[in-house]
Amino acid sequence: MTEYLIKNGFVYDPILGINGDKVDVAVKDGKMVDAGDVAKPTIIDAAGMTVMAAGVDVHAHVAGPKVNVGRNFRPEDKLFRGVAGTGKKRMEGGFSVPTVLRTAYLYARMGFGFSMEAAMPPLYARHTHEEIRDTPIIDQGALPVFGNNWFVLEYLKENEVENTAAYIAWLLNQTKGFGVKCVNPGGTESWGWGMNCETVDDVVPYFDVTPRQIVSGLIAADEYLGLPHCMHVHGNSLGEPGNYEITLDTLKIAEDYKPNNDFGREVVLHNTHLQFHCYGGESYASKSFESKSKEVVEYVNSVDNISYDLGVVTLDETTTMTADGPFEHHLSHMNNLKWANTDVELETGSGIVPFIYNPKTFIAGAQWAVGLECGLFIKDPMRAYITTDAPNAGPLCRYPRVYKWLMSVKARDDMLDNTLKYGDKVRERCYIGELDREISLYELAMMTRAGPAKTLGLGHMFGSLKPGLEGDVAIYPYNPETDTDDPEKIEYAFGNSAYLIKGGRMIVKEGEIVDMGNKRTFWVDAKVNENPMVERDIAEKFRRYYTVTQNNYTVEGPHYVPNPYVIEVDATR
């Protein structure tokens, strides 16, 4: 395997404490090594460029059944946007919901090496893995959803953490899943009857359990197993004015828990797309709606065991998709656009609705502001990660634009003064106007690499250039000494990596994608004690209530996970 030595670049690595110094970075046999350990390396001259470990995406919807509904039911999202394949590249299509090929190429252009698919319905795990398999270059994992799963609801009603853990371990193995995702706990099961759970204390019909019990129990089970990633939650009442109190209620559940894992993970709860959960007021009208990002993030700052990602609204026409079925139904009544919904037997649900975040409306501008505030109020950027909840708050391809806004007051003011129709109202109802913080490249590296890698329990592989880690390096055409004059240069540079080395292979060379890499699917195999009761429950549910047999449920075989990377966890007691 080729050795690489990257010279003269401005290097940013918060794990190694390197803040823009010109140090040599070396890759050998697919891993990072000391510059001295390469014999006859290919030299990459990164003079005038920014060097970081490859990006790590903690939360994006890029593969699986609802993503594909989003593609197939939105031909207009692809109209006149097709890109022909060249060289090794196949054709690309789609804007808000790109094809799997485009997704891979976008990540490569943005210098990313790992992406976590944010919601995998267990019954549809095969589909998710087929898409992941066909997405080249990047490593991926997928989080099965547990927050409305009948086994979990029944066990946690009785607070049976050990049984819940045993079931989680079984399901991760069956679906080749990575961790525990919880979407609108209890609410999506209620949606099976057209209802919802709007607070953490609403009771789930029939199952007689509350979101509070579900979130608490899933954290307990996650830490019981000692999984790499913590419980990853999308709380109740997403997008509702006044929901910040529900968000705080949810976050405070974590106060009872301490991290227990061998992966260096320090948080027990990850709250995804926090932007959607920081709303005050009683309606979306400018006289009532207000940002509560400060209140929520100040709580996060006051504790040390919670992380979150931003979910910044990018003011595009996009496609919303979530396992939060009742929310999407609600949304379809707000904009009267097409609405797809799939309730999944015994497990979860999902909804998909196109949405236009129109900068000419107050609320879209306010949502844009709230998302950025979530990134600007954080004290420890190792616990706040930049996302757009792609494609919900904005398309994947907009990450670099979000960086620009976070890194430049000038860029934010330009939006408030020239793009938003109600910029002044937004300043008035949100905190954005008061914030003069500009995220530095060092902090950017925390919020896009080091931080997410650590919270995913992958800090030993990704997020830094430390010798021994995966040979994943991104080089951006951005000169921190001379390019600070124009924020547009940030957006351009981070969307057009000059080089990407992934697993020691040159994927992007001089801005061109030249190699499809050695894509791996990450999943977690947790060993637990024999649990005859849970085994019996599983067999019973398949016999009576599932429409596939238990033997046909298991995801196995090279068709689905041709190149697995299995993280083993021993939770036997």
CB 25 within 8 A of CB 6: yes
Alpha-carbon gap, residue 307 to 114, rounded angstroms:
18
Which is nearer to another protein, 548 or 566 (by Cβ)? Answer: 548
| Three-class SS state of 263 | coil
Q: Which helix (H) or strand (E) holds 512?
A: strand 512-513
CB of 556 to another protein, least distance (A): 8
CB of 195 to another protein, least distance (A): 9
CA distances from 483 to 308, 477, 524 (A): 30, 10, 42
CB of 349 to another protein, least distance (A): 8
The dihedrals phi and psi of 58, each to the nearest 5 degrees, come to -80, -20
Which is nearer to another protein, 329 or 421 (by Cβ)? Answer: 329
Alpha-carbon gap, residue 126 to 141, rounded angstroms:
13
CB of 334 to another protein, least distance (A): 12
Alpha-carbon gap, residue 267 to 455, rounded angstroms:
7
CB of 134 to another protein, least distance (A): 6
Beta bridge partners of residue 499, listed in sequence order: 475
Which is nearer to another protein, 227 or 346 (by Cβ)? Answer: 346
CB of 190 to another protein, least distance (A): 10
Which is nearer to another protein, 336 or 572 (by Cβ)? Answer: 336
Which is nearer to another protein, 123 or 411 (by Cβ)? Answer: 123
| Three-class SS state of 214 | helix
CB of 353 to another protein, least distance (A): 7
CB of 115 to another protein, least distance (A): 15
Alpha-carbon gap, residue 377 to 399, rounded angstroms:
19
Nearest by Cα to 89 from 514, 519, 534, 562: 514
Q: Which residues contact 421 (CB under 8 A, 6 or more apart)?
A: 359, 360, 361, 362, 365
CB of 91 to another protein, least distance (A): 5
Which is nearer to another protein, 50 or 135 (by Cβ)? Answer: 135
CB of 137 to another protein, least distance (A): 15
CB of 61 to another protein, least distance (A): 13
Contact positions vs another protein (CB under 8 A): 63, 65, 67-68, 71-79, 82-85, 90-94, 97, 99-101, 123-124, 126-127, 130-131, 134, 191-194, 206, 329, 332, 336-346, 349, 352-353, 544-549, 551-552, 557, 559-560
CB 159 within 8 A of CB 217: yes
Alpha-carbon gap, residue 63 to 128, rounded angstroms:
5
Q: Which residues contact 494 (CB under 8 A, 6 or more apart)?
A: 110, 111, 399, 400, 403, 476, 478
Which is nearer to another protein, 179 or 349 (by Cβ)? Answer: 349
Pairing of β 4-7 and β 42-45? parallel
The dihedrals phi and psi of 442, each to the nearest 5 degrees, come to -65, -45
Which is nearer to another protein, 101 or 197 (by Cβ)? Answer: 101
- 239 token code pair: 């997008």
Which is nearer to another protein, 82 or 468 (by Cβ)? Answer: 82
Which is nearer to another protein, 133 or 412 (by Cβ)? Answer: 133
CB of 482 to another protein, least distance (A): 37
Alpha-carbon gap, residue 477 to 355, rounded angstroms:
33
Which is nearer to another protein, 82 or 511 (by Cβ)? Answer: 82
The dihedrals phi and psi of 207, each to the nearest 5 degrees, come to -75, -15
Which is nearer to another protein, 68 or 275 (by Cβ)? Answer: 68
Alpha-carbon gap, residue 62 to 119, rounded angstroms:
10
Q: Cβ-count burial of 354 within 10 angstroms (0-12 exposed, 13-18 middle, 19+ buried)? A: buried
CB of 360 to another protein, least distance (A): 16
Q: Which residues contact 547 (CB under 8 A, 6 or more apart)?
A: 345
Which is nearer to another protein, 93 or 480 (by Cβ)? Answer: 93
Alpha-carbon gap, residue 6 to 50, rounded angstroms:
11
Nearest by Cα to 12 from 85, 93, 111: 111
